Amino acid sequence: MSIKSFLIKKTLQMKGMSKEQAEKIAQEMSDNPEIAESLKSLDANKEVKTLFENIQKELELKKKAGMDEQLAMVLIMGKYKAQIAKHRHELEPLMRLMQK
């Protein structure tokens, strides 16, 4: 495992992702460097960045209120469905990565 893959895996685990899923994503990014480049473009897109920040804030609030994380995510994603659909082309690499 390269140092880059190791750092990606550990960063994802620190953000709360399971070890197995973090390993899969780190491996996928190592095998397909173009995915990393497309993810960098997401950070440069202010609308997408704000969307992610809003989703994260609402998720944290719902979790603090005692709601199950998966239920909270379903409700929040439903709320932002139109905005997610608007940016679906930019988000496609991220969604493919998360499905693996």
Q: What is the pLDDT of residues 56-82, one digit of tens each?
A: 899 999 999 999 988 998 999 999 999
Does the pTM surpass 0.75? The reply is no
Q: Does position 84 have pLDDT exceeding 60, yes or no?
A: yes
- pLDDT tens per residue across span 37-55: 777 777 788 898 899 899 9
What span, in angstroms and rounded, lies between the C-alpha atoms of 97 and 28? 7
Q: What is the mean pLDDT of the chain?
A: 84
Where are the domains positioned within the chain? 1-31, 45-100
pLDDT at 90: 83
